[in-house]
Amino acid sequence: MTSLNQIAESIVADNKGILAADESTPTIGKRFAGIDVENVEDNRRAYREMLFTTNGAEEHIGGVILFDETLRQSTADGTRFADLLSSNGVHPGIKVDMGAKPLAGAPGETVTEGLDGLRDRLAEYAELGAKFAKWRAVITIGDGMPSDYCLDANAHALARYSALCQEAGIVPIVEPEVLMDGDHSLEDCMEATRRAHAAQFAALEMQRVALDGILLKPNMVVAGQGCATQPSHDEVADATVALFKESVPAEVPGIVFLSGGQSEEEATANLNAMNARHSDLPWKLSFSYGRALQQAALKAWVGEDANMDAGRAAYAHRARMNSLACAGTYSAELETANA
C-alpha cells in the first residue's frame, strides 16, 4: 500500500505541482461569467475534461484538486475523471471544506467549517479514488487582525481535518491563507504568516498529524494589493524563504504555494525566484494554482468545442512555465517563445 509520504512526495516530484480545479459551483460560475458561458453541469464537465485531457500536462502536474461534483463526473466517452488522471500518473484530490464562515465574536474574521461528517465523507472519497484532500483557512490582515482567536480556531480545524485525512489514507493539504487583500506591507504579511504558521504547526502536533504525510499550501510573503510599495520578485522570494526556514519543519515534503490573486506570470516569476535564489532547502517549493494555471485556458476556450485544442495549449503552456519555475529556470522570455 502506498504510504502518505510516498503520495505527497510524488505529487511534487520532478518539478511537478498541483492544478487546483476545485472551484465550487458558484465560483466556477463567476469564471464562466467572465467569458459569457452558462454555468450548467455539462459546461463545467466539458471544461474540466478539456484540462484533464491535455497531452503532456502530466509531465508538469502531479495532482489535481477536484470539487465533489467533478470527482463524480466522467469524460464524454465515459471514463471517470479520477481514473483518467490516475492512468496518467496524476493523483486525484478533493476539496472537503464547506467554506469560510463568520467567526463568532470576531467581526471581520472567519473560520472554515466542514468537520461534521468528514470521516464518512473521506471514506467515500477514498473509494472514489481521491489520494489527497484540501481544506482552506482564510486569514485577513487589518486593524487588530489576524487575532490569536482566529488563528487558533482555523489552525485547530485544519489540524482536525488533517488527522481525519491521514486516518482515511488521504494526504491532507494544509492551507492557512493570509490574504493579499488590503494595503498592508510585505513586513505585515511576514508577521501575520509567521503567527499563522506557529499556530498551525502547534495544532498539527497536538492532533498527532504526521508531518511527512502532508503538503503545506501557504501564501507567499507579499505586500497587500493596495500597498503603494510593491516588492520585486527577488524581495518576495527572499522574504518567503527566510520566513519558511524559520516556521516550516523539515519533515514536510513539499510547499505548494497558492497564487492568491497574483497574475499568471507574477505567480510563476515569484516561484521561480525562490528556486533560482535558494538551494539546499529541506522541502520542495512548488505550486498549487487555480486561476494562475487556468485563466488563459478559459479565455482561449470561451465555451466552444472548436476551441478545445487552443484551451489545452494555453493550459499546457502555463503548466510548463510553472514546472520550469520549480527548477528555477523560468524566464519571462519563455512566455512568447515557441515551445
Is 49 one of the annotated active-site residues of the chain? no
Q: Tell me, what DSSP letter sits at residue 179?
A: P
Q: Pick the catalytic residue: 175, 177, 264, 284?
A: 175
> Residue 20 corresponds to which cell in the numbers above?
487546483
Under 8 Å between Cβ of 277 and 240: no
Backbone angles phi, psi at 102, to 5 degrees: -55, 135
Task: Report the distance separating Cα 125 and Cα 108, nearest Å.
Answer: 33
Q: Pick the catalytic residue: 16, 217, 264, 284?
A: 217
Angle (CA) 38-43-48 rounded to 5° is 135
Strand partners, 138: 177
Under 8 Å between Cβ of 120 and 168: no
Strand partners, 136: 175
Task: Report the distance separating Cα 3 and Cα 214, nearest Å.
Answer: 11
At what angle are helices 25-33 and 291-301 packed, to 10 degrees? 50
Is 175 one of the annotated active-site residues of the chain? yes
Task: Report the distance separating Cα 256 and Cα 175, nearest Å.
Answer: 9
Q: Does residue 249 come out as left (phi exceeding 0), alpha (psi in the -120 to 50 range) or beta? A: beta
Under 8 Å between Cβ of 274 and 235: no
How many residues belong to the chain?
A: 339
Task: Report the distance separating Cα 150 and Cα 145, nearest Å.
Answer: 8
Task: Report the distance separating Cα 38 and Cα 42, nearest Å.
Answer: 10
Under 8 Å between Cβ of 327 and 13: no
Annotated catalytic residues are 175, 217
